[in-house]
Amino acid sequence: MSLIERPRRLRTTQAMRNLVAETTVVPSQLIYPTFIKEGLTEPKPIKGLPGVFQNTEASLLAKVDRAIAAGIGGIMIFGIPAERDELGSAACEPNGILNRAVAAVRKHAGDKLVVVADLCLDEFTSHGHCGVLDDHGNVDNDATLVAYGRMAVELAKAGAHMLGASGMMDGQVGYVRQQLDEAGYTDVSILAYSAKYASAFYGPFRDAVESELDGDRRTYQQDPRNFIESMREVRLDVEQGADIVMVKPALAYLDVIRETAQSVDVPVAAYLVSGEMAMIELAAEQGLIDRERAILEAVASVRRAGANVICTYWALELAEMFYARKTL
């Protein structure tokens, strides 16, 4: 047959496929989410997240060493306190578990990777919500902003390079930016969870932080059916000073990642969340899919959609795989 165009020529070998690959993922684009629990004496496995642990300070610093050696871009830290109250007071304590962990990691790592601290109250409140409740049991947006502001300054003092503003409160980016600047932390950047959906895929994360949530977060996290609303949230966060905007979860919202990447002039992040990881891990455990190929395919899809930064519990494994293969 006389065929002028034969696209298969560019698929003949792995080297050829690598040569013309349109999407690449490198370790410096990855953020590794980690957990540290107050009072632990040894790392504790997390249900539903194979290979992910609640850490002690020593085991967390060991993960930091691996992350640096693997060339990962950043490490995100979530703290789990020994005691919680209705206001999430431990989040703002200078010697609280999250601030101590951030200080230890920053001292240990210096500027060899980006130290990202989670800026939210849900790990610290006895009711499990991401903010302060009013007299009717609803999250009080503006009172929560005040708490976020205090928490942000303490995390900046501890040494965080970046704060993950994940609470989905109206005006949180602008308020936190103002508080940081007034306290002299103009170089601390904000990773805004701009399009964070009220998703069913967060299930294993609740076990990771031992969430005591009563009810749901649908009054502040976004409705999974909505798209235009996401673009509004992204626009507002950029206007308020977000340095990076995030879409979370990732796999069920690739269309949102794509549109966000085409709409803003700041980097776009996406979070492959715990439930998305668990689905692949459990399917692979049952022999239904090839685990490694499925992980690579999932991560590539997020990058292909337009994410510059990817938060994933597979970050260490992916980075070490990259150096073994020289490609992902």
DSSP string, 261-282: HHH-SS-EEEE--HHHHHHHHH
How confident is the model at residue 213, as a pLDDT?
79
How confident is the model at residue 328, as a pLDDT?
66
Give a yes or no: residue 7 inside a domain.
no
Give a yes or no: residue 92 inside a domain.
yes
Number of domains in the chain: 1
Catalytic residue among 44, 107, 112, 196: 196
Catalytic residue among 107, 157, 248, 326: 248
* One-letter identity of residue 160: A
Cα torsion 320, 206, 300, 77: sign: negative
What CA–CA distance (Å, rounded) separates 302 from 310?
A: 8
What CA–CA distance (Å, rounded) separates 199 from 221?
A: 9
Give a yes or no: residue 71 inside a domain.
yes
The parent domain of residue 217 ranges over 24-325
Cα torsion 51, 156, 108, 98: sign: negative
Query: Is 196 one of the catalytic residues?
Result: yes
For position 236, which CATH number holds? 3.20.20.70
Give a yes or no: residue 6 inside a domain.
no
- Angstrom CA distances, 39 to 6, 50, 66, 87, 316, stand at 62, 22, 23, 21, 25
Please give the helix or strand (H or E) that residue 291 lies within, else none. Answer: helix 291-305
Note the pLDDT tens digit of each residue in 131-178: 999 999 999 999 999 999 999 999 999 999 999 999 999 999 999 999
Give a yes or no: residue 15 inside a domain.
no
Asked whether residue 210 carries a pLDDT value surpassing 90, the answer given is no
